[in-house]
Amino acid sequence: MLLTPDQLRRHFQERGLKFTSPRYAIYRALAGSTEHPSVEDLYSTVKKTYPTLSMNTVYNTLESLKEIGIASEISLWHDKARFDANQDPHHHLVCLRCKKIEDLYDNTLDRLVLSPKAKHRYRITGHRVEFHGYCSDCKPKMNKPQKRRLAPWLKKD
């Protein structure tokens, strides 16, 4: 669900944060994407409309959106963080080759519970399951034998 500028302004003001048009544009770009964009992706998208936008503004806005609870960060093995404005309960399918992330809705995963021993050690506030594999675009490429390429100076004449 895309928040209106007034709704987002209220969220920001309730937390003493400044609301600006570029911040709304960053939120709109994130909420309008199913690609789980990175900071760099959002920067490239929004900079077209706001040429003076800084990367720092994107970072700060994403931190604010996370703080407000309308965005979450998905870190894939400390590669580059990706972001999601979809706050409905869902999980992810992650392609190991192209790094595509797809939303996965599965009620059985929503009902996962920890063992009493593990539950005792933590105060659980939520969970997210990630399945790792190869998407339909990359799966066929994984079955093809890789051609071994020689450096140009090693090629035979």
pLDDT of residue 41: 96
Judge whether 135 and 96 are in contact, CB under 8 Å. no
More confident residue, 151 or 139: 139
pLDDT in tens, 36-77: 999 999 999 999 999 999 999 999 999 999 999 999 998 776
pLDDT in tens, 8-17: 999 999 989 8
More confident residue, 80 or 131: 131
Mention every residue, 6+ apart, whose C-beta is less than 8 A from residue 50: 21, 22, 25
Count CB neighbours of 65 within 10 A: 24
d(CA 128, CA 109): 8
Report the 3 state secondary structure along 36-89: CCEHHHHHHHHHCCCCCCCHHHHHHHHHHHHHHCCCEEEECCCCCEEEECCCCC
Domains along the chain with CATH numbers: 1-87 (1.10.10.10), 88-144 (3.30.1490.190)
pLDDT in tens, 94-136: 998 898 999 999 999 988 888 888 888 888 888 889 999 999 9
